[in-house]
Structure formats: structure tokens, C-alpha cells
Chains A and B, each alone.
Chain A
Amino acid sequence: MVRMAVDLGGLQMKNPVTVASGTFAAGREYGDFVDVASLGAVTTKGVSLHGWKGNATPRIAETASGMLNSIGLQNAGVAHLKEIDIPWLVDEGATIIVNVSGHSLGEYVSVVEALEEAPVDAYEINISCPNVDAGGMTIGCHVESVESVVSACRAATKRPMIVKLTPNVTDITEIARAAEAAGADALSLINTLLGMAIDAKTRKPLLARIVGGLSGPAVKPIALRMVWECFHSVKIPLLGMGGIASGEDAVEFLLAGATAIAVGTANFMNPTATTEVIEGIARYCEDNGVDDVNELIGALLC
């Protein structure tokens, strides 16, 4: 029996697999396919204080081995999350990471404060969404704003706090170090890469918002490189994601230095992707004489 449990900056996960925020709602929509309690954690869709409408449609476009999205963090607000989604996850026995979004520093803090009384296991501070005009990536691209938002959230909670980074920067290790210095317990990366798609026939963009975030197998090499860079730049653990669709993909992220991983776009391709990734990691360990999945973290040979 392979030991699968990991400690992600104080968050105890029964295995290293969670879902990428925004690809799994708050779990219930996948409830017919996946026992959410069997996941290392469920990471919920980004939540803001009073809810947002999101962007106009079309919000997605398929691209080579990937997809673009510009959902725009549509959500019903933190009260709804507390009343409806968190109780369901608790009933199911899930470990809960709430992705926290805001348009301003104050909103991030207010969302964390509103959640402090709820049975949440960890926060993921979303300073990396590319599809909003304020907050998200606009904060996560600059050392100063990263430090101020992460410090402010840090002051609001003692719970494990993961900070989710954007790849749309010149040097992700600089941002990673800033988040670590400001009190992050772990980092998750990568959020989507800003991209666009055009229909040559109509001469129009495929997304209503013109640009959107690229995800899926196409981004995996970039995500792996950034996880590897951050592993060598910070001491806090990493939650790796970007194009993971199989156990082998997940193992590659662990080898690059991730302590845990998230399955994102693959949920859309295959509703049981998370379960298959967990099984695939365990099988890899068995086949390779690995007793404890923690042995794989950063075990890249080079």
C-alpha cells in the first residue's frame, strides 16, 4: 500500500490530488462521477464578496490541445458558498480549499473574514485570474501588490493559505518569493496563460472578451518549467497544475517539485479524470518501488 498523504503548507491531504478552481464548481456537479471525499481536496470556484456576473458569451474556444476561457469569475458570492456549497462538501466528507477572489485588497480580506467561521480547510488566494478588469492577475503581476494582498489576507487568518500565481509575468520566481515573504503557506501554479483565438473567415475573435486564459495539455510544458523554477526559489510547498490529465502527468509535476497537483481542464474531457489521476499515481509508485508519494517531490534526476 503506497502512502499517498501529503502536507501542503499545513493542509493535510489524503492524497496529492485536488481540482483546479473553476473547473469543478463546488463539486456537486461532478457528484455522480466522483466521490469528492476521495480527493485530496476540493478547490471551489473563485468566490467574491457579493457575486459577479462574469463576462459575455462566447466564453470559451477550443484551441490545439487546449482551450481558452474568459468566464470572468461568475459567482454567487460568499454567502451562497457558505449556505449551500460548503455544507454539501462537509456532508460528503470533503477536504475544502476555497478560492478567494476580489476586485480590491479590501474585498479579498472581507471574503477571508466571511469564511473564517465556516468549516474551510484552506484558502487559495486568487491573484492570477486573467479575465477580470480589476483584481486577479492585475494584482499578481507586481511584487508590491502581491505583498500587500497576501500580507492583508495573512493577517485575517491562521488557516493554511495558498497563493495562486499567474504565468503571465517575466519572472515567476520573483512573484513566488514575494508571496512567500508576505506569509503564504504554499503556492499554486499555474493559472491560465493569456491568449486569443481568431476566426479568419469572419475576421472576429472567438471570445466575446477577445482574450482569455489558455489551459489544457498544451500548457503542461510551461507549467512544469515554472513549478521547477519555483521549487528552486522558495521553501514553501507547491500545488502544481497545468494540463494534467493522467497519473503520469501528475508524477511529472511531483518530480518537478510539486507537493500536490490539481486536475483542471481534464475534468471537462473526462469527468472521472481526478479518480484516474489518483489511481495512476498509486500505480506508478507501486510499479517503481515508491512506498511514499512524498519521495517523488522534487526527485527529478538532472
Chain B
Amino acid sequence: MEGARETSGFVKRGAPMTKLVNELASVQANEPLGPGLYLMALKAPQIARGIEAGQFVHMRIPHMDDHILRRPFSVYGRSAEEGIVEILYQTVGYGTDQMTRIGALESVEMIGPVGRPWRPPAAASRALLVAGGVGSAPLFLLAEKLIAEKREVDVVLGAQTAEALVSRERYEALLQAPPRCSTDDGSFGFEGFCTPLVEQALAEAEGEGRPYDYLAVCGPEPLMRLVANMAAEHGVLCEVSLERRMACGVGACLSCVVNTTGGLKRSCVDGPVFLAEEVIW
């Protein structure tokens, strides 16, 4: 029957690359960075050692026992040597509001590293990373990795205001060319959505005779869909990072499924990063 074929997508579940741990992390810092935007640093040596760009942690936020579910957060920065992971988060509801009240040295349980990381092809030499809002978080480790591998990286960052472009300086310090930025209100960079900047970057790279051969995008789903379409039109391989309402965070509950050409896939462990061409939007 139809259902059997459709569900067969999650039959071939890949073995997790690293063992999952439920690590008791110690909060080192939890500071506001911009409007509704916070940076939390945690000491979590096992996760810091194992995490790959694009993977996430599933956090049990303390002091909210009547809100029973964990919350997933991508990892923005890490130091394997110091055992530190950083989370850039935006307050969007009760859980993230509670998070802002977590003090230094409090303990937080988190499962990680979860999920399929970004997988730029080994042959890709020039990458374009596109971030909307806090979508800049899961792309930063990818930018670091690509730079370390001596590949060329350009970045487009979009946010509502200049104050919300909280990761701009971190990208500027990493990249040779500063990121192309847009703000909805024009307070920094291009005024409007970031999609025209993406189109511009794709066209310029083609004009230089060195087109992009990999594009990674994370942000609001309509943005990812638009950018994925642009990548397809320019023949550039594209990956997207999807998020669905999630319960277990380990692939058991089937809450977070995404419709793909290969059937229903779990955004937690089959994703969160998917090939754009695979996603049925």
C-alpha cells in the first residue's frame, strides 16, 4: 500500500555517528546579545568534543517542571579543548523565557550531539551560507570548518534590525570578506529581506567564473524554501536545516517528521540538515 512505501524512507536509518550522551552541563554565562537574543555558554566536555556543525542539543530547562518537554538548540560555538558549547537563542515562548533566568554555575541536562550535520561535498570549493535571524547559529561552526579546510566561504545574514544582527562581528572576524547583510528596517546593510543579496551573490560568483558549488541555509522556513529554489535555478547543491515540534529528540517518538522524496523522515535524527532537493515543502 501507499503508506508502506512512504514510510520506508525511515527504514534505512543511518547509525548515529557519535554516541549520544545526556550530559549535566554547567552554565558559564547567559547574557543578552540583542533584542530577545541571548548567548549561553555551557561546560559540557563530552558534547563539545563530539559535536559537528549543524547538530543540536536537546535541553531540559530547569525550574519549569510543569513544562515537561525538552527544547532543541543548535550549537553556535564550541571549544573542544575547553569543553565549552555556546547556544545562541531567541525568546519565543515560555521555555526560552525561562532560559534567560538560568544563572551561571547552574546545572542543565542536555542530550547531544543529535542529528545529521551539514555535509558539504568533499569537492565543494566555494560555499555560500545564508542565515535568517538566529539561523546564523548552526551555520557558524560550518563556516569555521570550511575555512579550516581552506575552502572559500561567503555569508549572507538577514535580521530585523542592526541590533538583531548579533553574529555579524563573529562572522566578520572569521571571514576574509565581510558578510553581506540585510535588515528589514534598513538600519544596517541592505533594506529588506536577504533574498536579493543571495541572488546577487550567486550571480556575482558566476560572473567571476567561480560559481558556488555548495549552499547552506537556515532561517524561517519560507526563506529556506526561496533560497533553495534560487540554488536549484543556479544548479548549486543546497542543504537546509529544518525544525519541527519535537518530543524525544532521539528519533523514537515520530513527532518531528518531515515530508521528503524518500518518505517521512525525522527532523531530529534523520535531519535537522536535509538536502533541499529531498524536501517536499
Contact = CB atoms under 8 A, between A and B. Distances in A.
A210 to B, nearest CB: 15
B70 interface: yes
Interface string B233-277: 000000000001111111111111100000010000100000000
Interface of B: 1-4, 6-8, 10-11, 16, 19-22, 60, 65-70, 109, 111, 244-257, 264, 269
Interface in A187-244: 216-217
Given A29-B248, A71-B253, A53 B68 contact: no
B68 A71 contact: no
Contact of A25 (B16, B111, B252): B252
B257 A268 contact: no
Contacts of A76: 4, 7-8, 10-11
Contacts of B109: 270
Contacts of A61: 245
A50 B11 CA distance: 13
A59 B264 CA distance: 13
Contacts of B6: 51, 53
B255 A71 contact: yes
Give the most central of B20, B21, B247, B269: most A CB within 10 Å. Answer: B247
A76 B6 CA distance: 9
B253 A22 contact: yes
B56 to A, nearest CB: 15
A52 B2 CA distance: 8
Nearest to A24: B252
15 contacts: A23-B253, A29-B248, A29-B252, A30-B250, A33-B20, A50-B1, A51-B7, A59-B257, A60-B253, A62-B68, A62-B69, A65-B65, A67-B247, A268-B70, A268-B253
Given A58-B245, A69-B253, 19 more contacts: A24-B252, A25-B251, A32-B19, A45-B252, A50-B3, A50-B4, A51-B7, A52-B7, A57-B245, A60-B245, A60-B247, A60-B253, A62-B69, A65-B68, A69-B247, A267-B248, A271-B111, A271-B248, A271-B250
A22 B111 CA distance: 20
A155 B256 CA distance: 38
Contacts of B60: 269-270
Contact of B244 (A24, A57, A80, A267): A57
Contacts of B245: 57-61
A64 B65 CA distance: 9
